[in-house]
Amino acid sequence: MIALIVRRGIQLVFLLLGISFLVFSSMYIAPGDPATMVGGPTATESDLEAISENLGLNDPFIVQYGRYVKNAAQGDFGYSYQTRQAVSEAIVVRFPNTLKLAIASMIVAVVIGIIAGLISALRHNSWLDVSTTTFALAGISIPNFWLGALLILVFAVNLQWLPVGGLSEPFYTVEGIKQLILPAITLGTGSAAMIARMARSSMLEVIKADYVRTARAKGVKERNVIWVHTLKNAMIPVITVIGLNFGFLLGGTIITEKVFAINGVGRLMIDSIAMRDFPMVQGSVLLVATLFVVVNLIVDIVYTYIDPRISYD
Amino acid sequence: MKKNVWLTLLLLVLLFLTACSSGESASAPPKENSKEDTKEPEKAESTSNETFTYASTSDVVGMSPILTNDSVSANITEHVFEKLFERNDDTKEIEPRLAESFENTDENTWVIKLKEGIKFHDGTPFNAEAVKYTFDKLRDPATAAPRASLLEPVDTITVIDENTVEIKTKYPYGAFLAALSHSNAAIVSPTADKELDLMSNPVGTGPFKFVSWTPGDRVELEANEEYWDGAPALKKVILKVVPEISTAISMLQTGEVQFIDNLPTEQIERLEAMDNINIEKKEGTPVYYLTFNHSKEMNQDPEFREAVAAAIDRDAFVSKLNGLGVRSDSVIGPEVFGYDASADNAGTPYDLEAAKALVQKNGYADKPIKLLTANRANFVLMAEIVQAQLTEAGFKVDIESMEWATFLDTARAGDYDITFLSWSNVTGDGSELLYPNFHSDNIGSSNRGQYNNPEFDELVVQSRTTIDQEERKVILNQANQMMIKDNAAVVMYHGIVTAAMDKAYSGLILAPNGKWSLKDVTGE
Amino acid sequence: MTNAILTTDIRTSGIKKKEKVYITTLKRLLKNKLAIAGIIIILVQITMAIFAPIIATHDPVKQNLIASELPVFSEGHWLGTDNYGRDVWSRIVYGARISLLVGVTAVSLGLIGGITLGLLGGYYKKLDGIIMRVVDLLFSFPGILLAMLIIAVLGTNLVNVAIAISIWSIPTCARIVRGSVLSIKEKEYIMAIKSLGASDFRIMMRHILPNAFAPIIVFGTMRMATAILSTASLSFLGLGAQPPTPEWGAMIAQGQAYMWTSPHLTIVPGIAIMLIVFAFNVVGDGLRDALDPNMDIQ
């Protein structure tokens, strides 16, 4: 296990280096001048020149990138061009919101997904199965910006059951949970549907497997067959999907955070790309990539617990 | 292993219960709810003066008037800081604010007397030293201030005594008072600037004091109880960042926020149907226009520009703005200094047949026109309608819409044939509109149309260097009429500035430049 | 398992058997009611796309500012008009063309990239390390962010959107192909063919690729759904089609401002997107069940 973590750690360093280079060079090539974005459309040529010099934008690409990597290695991820605030500080403020949203959506996705998957697998080919499958597929097919707007329209504006947006209250209070419900449903629906499909098919597969048949033949109670024998084995592919979906969720936060006015890393990313705030783009992308790698590592470790046959050493 | 299964189940049940219970308490009518629940300050106190929240579609960049140049940041700095002068919205005259009076001892010398006894929020006195410090910092190249150019004509700044400052300019500067009334020329506390970072800790003399800033989420201000012009009624003001305007409007509807500005034309109908808000509208200084890229050969043909202007039905376009636009051919709008009503109809009138004839005569139909636009709602609206109208007249037009940063870059590089631009005039002075946008000095930066007309340049320079305001008005009108006749730009409309506020409040001051003040706002 | 048998069949008994495999697959697929519904929806969209000029009642970009925001079932405009007075039905019909075109382009580009990387990585051990690291790198990027960066560099238009979206199907596709290659590479008959002097390229194309064919088809079908959805999301962020192109996602984004006064402007294109994405998803699911239920594709 430790060997696995160390190996992934080393891979992560190279991965981050690769990503930072990719992001840095694409932002460098992309049209749009950070100085113009700082100075605003009314700044004159001399205003812009002074700003460029001040931000170190006049140095050649290699010098700028080298400076970035050197500072980053020492834990200094630079300062925002726009707000002149430390990047790490800006991210620390926003990250808890993104994490809250991602975890809440994951809970929505896992709960709905597994329940729906189980129901349709246990009632295979019944009307319940067909309608659950149809709903699951419809869930994947809904554009989430559209779903978000519809949910606001119905539950926040018309019924006034839940707040329209924001995520300012602590998550353990009633207010905090209320704020999370709509965004979590918006973001979690797509993943719920994917998990439901996977849970359904792997349950079906396991139910047909020999050892389950043997257990049944031995007279083990049906309830025990499902919970003890089937579910555990069916979980392995489902966990893979959950791990993969975490990346999908992180991508999805970009749009969900925008629609629900949530101050998270996803929104920070698009806003910084739009404002050509390079250090901020770098910092937030690196964080998301790290998160993704760590989640996949956790998934791999969970595997070894669920299925002792799997080993990474 | 069995334990784990039960644990999972327990978790599921718990989750279900919390979901149900929160659903129950939430389904009670919101009004009762807010009375019972004291943990909900935003709702519970929405009809008092304790907290007033407004939604803004983007966050402040920072709160130093010296280092920022965007309207969202200015909304905060205008409440925390004050300028020496301010334009009176009714008379359009510039009046002293922190200044007491001024006199010109000669055309290059401004002696400004300051109000006495005013203190910054940190307790230090506002005086001539502070004015000199602020202006020196603003124009210092090392500061890299975005609007250092405001004080470009300034030569020396001298403290005469505690409350008098003398400013000498390199040449007569007609728009000097206008420049001093710009948000970027607000006076900062020198002590605070030396010790703190004003971007995150603003300290000024204004009616509200800075409390805290959570980047990306909110800015909190509180009333300055010792404000020299009377403490404001609102005890706490919160800027809340809500990136989607639809979401912001929903929040206004449900009472989560009390105020929004810059209402989008597309949603005006929805806002008007809401019964808990008042909509404020005022003719404003922003101007939206189509500009030609004057460096392109095709655009140097006056008949081409005339044909384009004749093909655009501006009346039909303005009717699509749901009452949020004023139709006029004049580049200098009705709310801007230098406007003259004679310019309203000075442009090429809409005449589809004439346009078609010119297109046929000169074979414009064969030349594809690249119409560049920023992908912001009001620009796309202009682009889509104008593209359809130009196509009707026989032109071949392709829209290229791009995000704001790329747009600014592309427009500056001149990689387009026609595009839409806008200019929101903070100082409300015509020179501040014509010089940056159309004077040949600024080709390569803010003169994105690359308009280059020496005769026009001459007039603009005159308008800037003349001190007599009546004379300036005449010169500005001349320059304005000249470029309209030349079809240098086709004015689409002049903006109407808007805001919507909860009915429980009154006293909003909305200025033609879109700025607003909460100083006199009070709840019932 | 089934895969190996299937390939052995193809290899040994030539075209007739191959046809038979396709026919059984099709028969199995047609037993699936949801898949039939999906196929019908896709066929309808293809028809709309091909015969758009005949089916549309109006010019999709022709404005009529006086008759704007008409509701559904208005005279002459059964799906109403948008804020520029353009006929919504005609825009939906022409939009079918665009979403299919972008979807097909994005998926084909992604498949070509993914297959190439997967084949090379699986076949040549030396390349495997580097290629899989590149794949990991692409994997750990949120897809939409990658697309935004690419569009920021290349500029906003539909071709670049297709490119951006295609890149994000490369890693999954590469992994699927690589897996198939690794499972078959060491098989005896491949060794035999190799010793007979067949070139690497021929082995890859004739013997290895067909083995991975089934998962690729299923993956491609499901990716069509993702690609269409992603195009819509990018258009929502203002990074998609250039106006006045009637792209469905752009129609939603534009209509959203009128959601409270003219809800049909978002609901109609929203349903159009949902239906087609749904269709590709169910057909993909059905294909997987018909070809091989154990296939490992997410």
Task: Name the pLDDT band for B294 (thresholds 50, 70, 90).
Answer: very high
Range A111-125 average pLDDT: 84
Could you give the 3-state DSSP secondary structure of residue B395? coil
Mean pLDDT computed over B168-197:
92
- Report the range of poorest mean pLDDT among A73-82, A151-160, A203-212, B238-247: A203-212
pLDDT-derived band at B280, boundaries 50, 70, 90 = very high
- pLDDT at B228 (0 to 100): 94
Q: What share of chain B in percent tops pLDDT 90?
A: 65
Give the amino acid at B272. Answer: E
Return the pLDDT at C293. Answer: 55
Rounded Cα distance, A243 and A109, in Å: 12
Topology classification of domain B48-241? D-Maltodextrin-Binding Protein; domain 2 (3.40.190)
Residue with tokens 């010119």: B358
Structure tokens at A191: 């993943």
Give the closest residue to A189 by CA, choosing from A73, A109, A77, A304: A109
pLDDT cut 70: percent of chain C above it: 91
- Better-predicted residue by pLDDT, B4 or B415: B415
Res A7 pLDDT > 60: yes
Asked if the Cβ–Cβ distance from A26 to C150 is below 8 Å, we say yes
Scanning every residue of chain C, which has its alpha carbon at the shortest distance from the alpha carbon of B381? C84
Asked if residue B3 has pLDDT above 70, the reply is: no
* Residue-level pLDDT at C18: 60
Among C residues 20-59, those touching chain A with beta carbons less than 8 Å apart: 33-34
ipTM of the complex: 0.78
Using the Cβ of A199 and the Cβ atoms of chain C, whether some distance falls under 8 Å is answered with no
Q: Which of B375, B320, B327, B291 is nearest to B495 (CA)?
A: B327
How large is the average pLDDT for residues A211-231? 69
Size of interface B-C (CB pairs under 8 A): 62
Whether residue B492 has pLDDT greater than 90: yes
A288 contacts C145? CB cut-off 8 A: yes
Least confidently predicted of B320-329, B469-478, C197-206, C261-270: C197-206
Residue with tokens 């690589």: C178
How confident is residue A261, by pLDDT bands cut at 50, 70 and 90? Answer: confident
Structure tokens, C2:
């089934």
Express each pLDDT in C107-145 by its tens digit: 999 999 999 998 898 888 888 888 888 887 887 777 777
Average pLDDT across chain A, whole number: 82
Residues of chain B with C-beta less than 8 angstroms from the C-beta of C238? 375, 401, 403
So what's the pLDDT on residue A298? 82
Whether A98 and A291 have beta carbons less than 8 Å apart is answered as: no
What percent of chain B has pLDDT above 70? 91
Q: Give the minimum alpha-carbon distance from C139 to chain A in angstroms, rounded to a whole number.
A: 9
Contact B246 C152 (CB under 8 A): no
Q: Using CA coordinates, name the residue in chain C closest to A142.
A: C274
- Evaluate if residue B32 carries a pLDDT over 60: no
Query: CA of A193: which chain C residue's CA is closest?
Result: C281
**What average pLDDT is seen over chain C?**
83
CB contact under 8 A, B385 and C84: yes
Distance from CA of C141 to the nearest CA of B (A): 22
pLDDT, residue C292, reads 67
Closest residue of chain C to B374, computed from CA coordinates? C238
- Nearby residues of A71 by Cβ (< 8 Å), 6 or more positions away: A77, A78
Could you give the residue range(s) of every CATH 3.40.190.10 domain in chain B?
A: 48-241
Q: Determine whether the interchain pair C149/A198 forms a contact, defined as Cβ–Cβ distance below 8 Å.
A: no
Backbone angles phi, psi at C276, to 5 degrees: -70, -40
pLDDT tier, B396 (very low <50, low <70, confident <90, very high otherwise)? very high
pLDDT band at B16 (very low <50, low <70, confident <90, very high): very low
Backbone angles phi and psi of A309, in degrees to 5: -70, -25
Are the beta carbons of C242 and B375 separated by less than 8 Å?
Answer: no
Q: Would the CB atoms of B144 and A157 count as touching at under 8 Å?
A: no
A72 pLDDT above the threshold of 90 = no
Is the model's pLDDT at B37 over the cut of 70? no
**Per-residue confidence (pLDDT) for residue A251, from 0 to 100:** 73
Whether pLDDT at B19 is above 50: no
Interatomic CA distance for residues A266 and A98, integer angstroms: 7
Residues B338 and B175: their CA atoms lie apart, in Å, by 12
pLDDT value at residue A171: 78
- Quick one: average pLDDT of A280-295? 85
Q: Which of B72-76, B163-167, C44-48, C73-77 has the lowest mean pLDDT?
A: C73-77
**Per-residue confidence at B30, pLDDT binned at 50, 70, 90?**
very low
- Distance (Å, whole) CA C172 – CA A182: 31
pLDDT at C89 over 90: yes
Nearest CA in chain A to C277: A141
Query: Domain B283-495 class?
Result: alpha beta
Confidence class of residue A206 from pLDDT cuts 50, 70 and 90?
Answer: confident
Q: What are A9-25's pLDDT values in tens digits? A: 888 888 888 888 888 88
Contact B58 A271 (CB under 8 A): yes
CA C22 remoteness from chain centre: 21
- Interface membership of A73 toward C (CB under 8 Å): no
Q: Is the dihedral of CA C225, A292, C136, C286 positive or negative?
A: negative
Minimum CA–CA partner of A42 in chain B = B446
pLDDT (0 to 100) of residue B413 = 83
Map A209-229 to HEC letters. Answer: CHHHHHHHHCCCCHHHHHHHH
Indicate if the pLDDT at residue B33 is higher than 60: no
Report pLDDT for B14: 34
The arithmetic mean of pLDDT across residues A128-147, rounded, is 82
| pLDDT higher than threshold 70 for residue B389 | yes
Alpha-carbon gap: A237 to the closest alpha carbon of chain C (Å): 9
Q: Counting every residue, how long is chain A?
A: 313
Mean pLDDT calculated for residue range B159-188: 93
B446 contact A CB<8A = yes
Q: Which of C196, C125, C179, C159 is nearest to C298 (CA)?
A: C179
Alpha carbon of residue A164 to chain centroid: 22
For residues C267-274, give the mean pLDDT: 90
Which of B313, B318, B320 is the best residue to mutate to test the C interface, defined by the most C CB atoms within 10 Å of its own CB?
B320
Q: Are B434 and B460 in contact, with CB atoms under 8 Å apart?
A: yes
Mean pLDDT of A61-71: 89
Q: Torsions phi, psi of B164, nearest 5?
A: -135, 135
Closest residue to C155, CB basis, from B317, B385, B402: B402
Would you state the pLDDT for residue B205? 96
Report for B505-509, C181-185, C225-229: range of highest mean pLDDT? B505-509
In this structure, of B5-14, B169-178, C93-102, the range with the lowest mean pLDDT score is B5-14
C85 CB near a chain B CB, below 8 Å? no
> Is the Cβ pair B242, A261 closer than 8 Å?
yes
Residue of A nearest to C142 (CA): A251
Chain A CB within 8 Å of residue B196 CB: no
pLDDT at A33 over 90: no
Per-residue HEC secondary structure of B453-478 comes to: CHHHHHHHHHHHHCCCHHHHHHHHHH
Q: Do B145 and A164 touch (CB under 8 A)?
A: no
With cut-offs at 50, 70 and 90, classify the pLDDT of residue B35.
very low
What's the pLDDT at B357?
95
Set of chain C residues whose Cβ sits within 8 Å of the Cβ of B383 = 243
> Mean pLDDT: which of A289-298, A302-311, B169-178, C126-135 is highest?
B169-178
Among the listed ranges B95-99, B138-142, B258-262, which one has the minimum average pLDDT value?
Answer: B138-142
| Mean pLDDT computed over C146-169 | 85
Buried b (16+ CB within 10 A) or exposed e, A243-275: bbbbbbbbbbbbbbbbbbbbbbbbbbbbbbbbb
Q: Which chains have at least 3 CB atom pairs separated by less than 8 Å from chain A?
A: B, C
Q: Tell me the shortest Cα–Cα distance from A173 to chain C, in angstroms.
A: 31
pLDDT band at B75 (very low <50, low <70, confident <90, very high): very high
**What is residue C205's DSSP assignment?**
I
Q: Which amino acid is at B311?
A: A
Preferred mutation among C82, C91, C149, C156 to probe B, highest tally of B CBs within 10 A: C156
Average pLDDT along chain B: 87
Query: What confidence score (pLDDT) does residue C95 get?
Result: 92
